[in-house]
Structure 1
């Protein structure tokens, strides 16, 4: 299952990653160690709000960043 991302989700993801002092490459490498086939280019698109993310990758990112799911969805409005 995939989540359809937007710019706010992407910005939140980037802020969380930067607060952990991880590069995109480091983040993707850690995800790959957990079994994800996600590439750095696809991860970059997610942070830009142009790519979608598998729920399983979001679970992995939560573990890597040691954060709450709510942090990924901060300030996302209900309207489309």
Structure 2
């Protein structure tokens, strides 16, 4: 099955993930640990690239981050 990547040329998603993560006082390492516990393969380096707009996020990663941060898709996409 092909992994779907979300193209975010303006880095809205990455910026929102970073902002929400910081607002909730969740470090990158902590978020990565939670993702890995949920069987989502992501490294801290990948998260840094996503937040910085240098890498596209996979749909499965976005879903897991949404669940861990306890936010809606609207919170991440707007």
Shorter-chain TM-score: what band? 0.7 to 0.9
How many residue pairs align between the two structures? 74
Query: Structure 1: 5+ residue runs without aligned partners?
Result: 75-80
Query: Structure 2: 5+ residue runs without aligned partners?
Result: none
- SS of residue in 2 equivalent to 1:51: coil
Deviations 1:25-48 (A, max 9, x none): 100110011001100001100000
- SS of residue in 1 equivalent to 2:74: helix
Q: Give 1:9 deviation, angstroms.
A: 2.1
Correspondence for 2:20: 16
- What is the alpha-carbon distance in structure 1 between the residues aligned to residue 77 and residue 46 of structure 2? 19
